[in-house]
Structure 1
């Protein structure tokens, strides 16, 4: 049985992502490592502080020790730490938002990035720009920061959180060909936002797990080829 270790900086995405795994990779052993202090420290600092980066690398190492075939980084705010850690960890690290960013950069010219935190918005925009450069394309990015939405959700006001995200999506839709949801926890609003704006909306959880599946299949194929050669 293959093992995937998912590393979380908060609680909100674990249950929805588990359902995606059950659908797309039902035979995979999924192990969750959750430290919900991480996102609080990132929000407080407005960036990824060194202490958070160190703890994340430790969790990736723990994932390797747990027998992971793939480690899934589930938080867009810390994706650049995952990039760095790939040089240190002996198993593949998949960033949950990389496939989403690549799809947006390959298909669309004007991309609105919707987020509730600057610390998530900015690295997601950088990732899309990176994927666009790799594809040899020039894209225009639209800032879709839903100010106050994160605080509303943390304050127990999910309806206000959703309202602010919807209002932000409607505000930026006229400037964009597609809306990208920078936080996986926003995926539940994908259909609602698309209906309200008339624009395609991309979210990361399903695309991220599909990329995990591709990596697992590729390594299974390599192992099969090596066995055949022997």
Structure 2
């Protein structure tokens, strides 16, 4: 199996690689990255034609590499899959599809994000599937950049503070960015914590194996 991973930040690399290799050690992963995308999104606040063109270039490269499917790893850009999927014969997966499907089994969802555009993409998916879903969203814009600045402890502390702020008000807590996955082990909230990398890997592999997936 050959899977393309499309990244907008370097912080997604380790979590998704680890998830895939632990679930399927023989899988071949092809990485395609454009680190200018996040800055473009933060400046525009939405999927502009320029952002979509950048993604098209990455998807084209992935398709030319003859991969079996494409997995996005940055939640802020998830809605680009709806735009681009009709143009390509292979499956494009959102970064958080499997995680959000699990979250939808709960009545009240708490979203924790470190990129201000992420809740827009996640909420559109959740409300398309379940219009009356109750969602409480907390976002600390730009916190994701602390990781690339070597300020991991500060990053993790901010995530923990948001989780404990929302704990008790919802039935499940979603850590929206792949870069937050490691913080889940530092928490002991009263409700379940969901992270995306492992769920995404399992979902993608199940699709390729022709198995039922969430």
TM range (shorter): over 0.9
Mapping of residues 1-230 of structure 1, within 5 Å: 2-105=1-104, 107-133=105-131, 138-147=132-141, 149-193=143-187, 195=188, 197-218=189-210
Following TM superposition, by how much is the alpha carbon of 1:214 offset from its aligned partner in structure 2, in angstroms? 1.1
Number of corresponding residues: 211
Q: How many Å separate the matches in 2 of 1:147 and 1:11?
A: 17
- Structure 1's unaligned 5+ residue stretches are 220-230
Query: Deviation digits for residues 143-165 of structure 1, max 9, x if unmatched?
Result: 11135623544543222211111
Please state which structure has a larger fraction of its residues in helix: 1
Following TM superposition, by how much is the alpha carbon of 1:34 offset from its aligned partner in structure 2, in angstroms? 1.1
- Aligned position for 1:228: none
Q: How many Å separate the matches in 1 of 2:38 and 2:142?
A: 16
Q: How many Å separate the matches in 1 of 2:110 and 2:37?
A: 26
Query: Deviation digits for residues 194-227 of structure 1, max 9, x if unmatched?
Result: x1x22100010000001111110118xxxxxxxx
Q: How many Å separate the matches in 2 of 1:18 and 1:144?
A: 27
User: Aligned to 2:55, what secondary structure does the other structure show?
Assistant: helix
| Kept after mapping to 2: 8 A contact 1:48/1:77 | no
Q: How many Å separate the matches in 2 of 1:187 and 1:23?
A: 15
Using the size of structure 1 for normalisation, the TM-score is 0.86
Larger radius of gyration: 1
| Kept after mapping to 1: 8 A contact 2:144/2:179 | no
Following TM superposition, by how much is the alpha carbon of 1:125 offset from its aligned partner in structure 2, in angstroms? 1.8
Q: How many Å separate the matches in 2 of 1:144 and 1:79?
A: 18
Whose RCO is larger (CA < 8 A, sep 6+)?
2
- Structure 2's unaligned 5+ residue stretches are none
Cα RMSD (Å): 1.6
